[in-house]
Structure 1
Amino acid sequence: MAHIIVVGNEKGGAGKSTVSMHVATALARLGHRVGTIDLDLRQRSLARYVENRDAFIRAEGLALPSATAGSLPGVNGTPPADEDAAPLLQQAVAALEPGNDFVLIDCPGAHTPLAQAAHALADTLVTPLNDSFVDFDLLARIDPSGEKVLGPSVYSEMVWTARQRRAQAGGRPIDWIVLRNRVGSQRMLNKDRMEKAVANLSRRIGFRVAPGFSERVVFRELFPRGLTLLDLGDTGVRQLSLSNIAARQELRDLIRALDLPGVHVTF
């Protein structure tokens, strides 16, 4: 059985697709077979990234390790009926599992039946979180000081339900990882409060905290060609900038923090 990685958060703009692109490509470059499913049927950022990569490889005659794209059977841009969401996703995952070590599912930034079904399938759940209390509110309610957690919020409750369903089905526990994403380089009061609040909540509701990506142009500028910074050497770039080197280290730290089975970081 392939290990299923779900990248999810009900809020848009948290960097889910950016994380998905880089994790999928990093695993492929480490020699693993990776299948992907993009559940954002309207925006399709991850699906287009895979298409862009395939097109660039053909045009340039390169042999770059790549993930493969799966899809929901019979679904062309229109969300399926609520009762069909879970069976269709299970079919899509089942089609990818035999030929892959990992199946990565990128969820939309909304609460949908497809996203709910994906969370229940997750072996590893990755939740990118912008360094903002606006985003944190999806995980938990806090007091006005930003220091006391009052209780779980809507997304945490959805993950709790997914964990219960998985336990009832006899599955392995979900390894839930929250990434503090787009963290600013300057030390600020809000940044300190966010760090304390996330650490406090992780102990209360059971997730691990891992480093995400800083706000760097390189994480987005290669999208039209379907590339990541790991591919630059294969495309003729011989000298990385300091920003690119720092970005590579952030990706290395992220893959290590995910602690996926059989994955040894060598880039």
Structure 2
Amino acid sequence: MSQASVIVIGNEKGGAGKSTIAIHIAVALLHGGAKVAVLDLDLRQQTMGHFFSNRRQWLAANGAEAPMPLEHPMSSQGDGLAKSAEADQVARFEAAFAELAGQADFLLIDTPGSDTAISRAAHRRADLIVTPMNDSFVDFDMLGVVDPVTLDLKRHSLYSETVWTCRKERATLERKQIDWVVLRNRLAPTEARNRKRLDERVNALSRKVGFRVGPGLRDRVIYRELFPFGLTIADLSPVIRPVAMSLQHVAARQELRALMSALGFTGLDESERIAAE
């Protein structure tokens, strides 16, 4: 049985938009006709799990149809697993991974915004790591360290070290390469001097530690509006339209298309739904 392509959404800093990116990639792949499985490793927050629960309920209540992923809840005890030993958490993850990896084309894993054993285990399994970061040196600090006087890049930082270690282990044990894409997420609508400075440091670090840089999602109202329904911009159609449409929604679709293209996927049809190649 073929193994799913494993996409890990990771960043050890909270608030970078990991879950927003995760649900949009998952739903875009689903609309492309791919069989997608999801694992939410944020054992306390469970944002992605709540999103797909909302989706299931909204579709049933409105008599609508939209693709759903395969799911495997890590625990039936709410946040109980978050309080258990790291070895127990990793064992649950490995069991869930083994169950889902052989059933899907893609296995998408959303990780917590902290350094945990279960997150590191997921990163070691990745074929593609997607790291969203806000347009800020605060977020960049998890990737690289800059000189406080000159702002020159000095070295890579905590999360970069985690990914570097996982990539080295994967290459040694399985002779496989882990692709890594850093997304510039929630960009402000206007150009700023800070962004130019940050661009230069991100590009310098990408050459140093070997990641690609791609576009993320802007901080748009539509992304927040659709979350309670368990829907994304890729779901909107003449049948599924819980909010009024506008030109901003067209721009958001194009933004999602650009994100998927940067990750190596491409749009399929004239309706601007997003698909996996």
Q: Which amino acid aligns with 1:257?
A: A
Contact kept, 8 Å, 2:182 with 2:212, in 1: the verdict is yes
Instruction: Tell me, yes or no, if structure 1 residue 149 matches structure 2 residue 150.
Output: no
Distance 1:257 1:211 in 2: 7
**Match in the other structure for 1:244:** 249
Aligned-residue sequence identity (percent) comes to: 44
Instruction: Tell me, yes or no, if structure 1 residue 199 matches structure 2 residue 192.
Output: no
Distance 2:105 2:150 in 1: 41
1:146: Cα distance to partner?
A: 6.2
1:238: Cα distance to partner?
A: 10
Give the alignment of 1:221-232 within 5 angstroms: 221-232=225-236
After TM superposition, the score normalised by the length of structure 1 is 0.94
1:71: Cα distance to partner?
A: 2.5
Change (3 A) 1:165 1:85: farther
Change (3 A) 1:91 1:237: closer
More divergent stretch after superposition (226-235 vs 84-93): 84-93
SS in 2 for 1:115: helix
For structure 1, the 5+ residue unaligned runs are none
Distance 2:150 2:253 in 1: 32
Instruction: Tell me, yes or no, if structure 1 residue 256 matches structure 2 residue 261.
Output: yes
Contact kept, 8 Å, 1:50 with 1:69, in 2: the verdict is no
Give the alignment of 1:1-267 within 5 angstroms: 1-72=3-74, 76-77=78-79, 78-79=81-82, 80-144=84-148, 147-233=151-237, 234-236=239-241, 240-260=245-265, 265-266=268-269, 267=273
Distance 1:168 1:188 in 2: 42
Deviations 1:29-59 (A, max 9, x none): 0100111010111111000001110111111
1:171: Cα distance to partner?
A: 4.6
Distance 2:106 2:64 in 1: 23
Contact kept, 8 Å, 1:72 with 1:91, in 2: the verdict is no
For structure 2, the 5+ residue unaligned runs are none
User: What RMSD, in angstroms, separates the aligned Cα atoms of the two structures?
Assistant: 1.8
Q: Which amino acid aligns with 1:17?
A: S
1:61: Cα distance to partner?
A: 1.6
1:129: Cα distance to partner?
A: 0.3
1:143: Cα distance to partner?
A: 1.3
1:242: Cα distance to partner?
A: 1.8
1:75: Cα distance to partner?
A: 6.2
